[in-house]
Amino acid sequence: MFSTLIGVPVGAALGLTRFMGRKLLVAFMYTGMGFPPVVIGLFVYLMLSRSGPLGQLNSPLIPALFTPGAMIIAQTIIAFPLVAGFTMAAVMSVDPQLRQQVQSLGATTWQTAWTVITEARIGVIVAVIAGFGGIISEVGAVMLVGGNIEGRTRVLTTAIVLETRKGNFELAIALGLILLGITFVINALMLRLQGKAIDT
């Protein structure tokens, strides 16, 4: 969710503009896209732990380790480069002459940006699906940062790991099917959106 909210605008901005340091940012983003999520989990763990730089601040704005807040932070960091990277690629693949044509028809800067994003809508939806796929299949980082605490930070993936370890294969399989089902439904919804995007 958060990655979409941040990732789509950042990706679009990177695709639409040229500024100093853009190349560096893009390089970081590509690195992030291929980054092992566990390492990101470790990083967030170290940052948030009581003795870590952010944990020490004791600020109410910064979630403690082993809370849903901490998991959201880790997931956001994992999905953000995916969403931003794919969005950027989609925006950049739009005909470069389209921007001038849209401006020529009287678009403001914002209207131009928005039009280019809507022209790239199919790719932007792919970006969101990719980010979502990255998040929902994530185990390692979530386990590290969330702690897999029952009723609080246990999610489907971590529950599957736990139940399998305990030998409760039936429960694990059932959970796996639920996870598959959820993924399928959400992707199907996205695809419908995409289909609509193609038709209109």
Partner 1 sequence: MTALKPGVNGQGLSATLPDHVRYSIEGVSKVYAGRQVLQIDRMDIRRGEILALVGPSGAGKSTLLRMLNFLEPPSAGRIRYGDFEYGPNGEAPLATRRQVTTVSQRPVLLNRAVQANVHFGLHLRGQRKAARQVDAALQQVGLAHLARQQARTLSGGEAQRVALARAMVLQPAVLLLDEPTANLDPYNVGLIEQIVRTLNREQGMTLVLVTHNIFQAHRLAHRVGFMLDGRLVEVADTQTFFEAPVDPRTAAFVRGDMVY
Residue with smaller CB distance to partner 1, 21 or 106: 106
The backbone region for 107, taken as left when phi is positive above 0, alpha when psi lies in -120 to 50, beta otherwise, is beta
Q: Which is nearer to partner 1, 42 or 107 (CB)?
A: 107
Tokens 């190349």 locate to: 23
Contact string (CB under 8 A) for partner 1, positions 64-103, x = contact = -------------------------------x-xx-xxxx
Q: How far is the CB of 78 from partner 1 (least distance, A)?
A: 31
Residue 95, C-beta contacts closer than 8 angstroms, at least 6 positions apart? 119
| Under rule CB under 8 A, residue 108 binds partner 1 | yes
CB 47 within 8 A of CB 53: yes
* x-or-dash string of contact with partner 1, 117-156, rule CB under 8 A: --x-------------------------------------
Size of the site for partner 1 (CB under 8 A): 16
56/111 with CB nearer partner 1: 111
Of 50, 60, 104, 151, which lies in the binding site for partner 1, with binding defined by CB under 8 A? 104
- Distance from C-alpha of 106 to C-alpha of 113, rounded to nearest angstrom: 13
User: Does residue 196 belong to the site contacting partner 1 (CB under 8 A)?
Assistant: no
Q: Applying CB under 8 A, which of residues 75, 115, 153, 157 lies at the interface with partner 1? A: 115
Candidate ranges 9-17, 45-53, 105-113, 129-137; the one touching partner 1 (CB under 8 A) = 105-113
Please tell me the number of Cα atoms within 13 Å of 90 on its side-chain side: 28
Question: Cα–Cα distance between 60 and 2 in angstroms, integer?
Answer: 19
- Cβ atoms of 82 and 64 closer than 8 Å: no
In the complex with partner 1, the residue whose CB is nearer, 59 or 108, is: 108
- How far is Cα of residue 170 from the mean position of the Cα atoms in its chain? 31
187 binds partner 1 (CB under 8 A): no
Closest by Cα among 21, 15, 158 to 90:
15
Which residue reads 């605008």 in tokens? 9
**Which residues here bind partner 1, judged by CB under 8 A?**
95, 97-98, 100-108, 111, 115, 119, 200
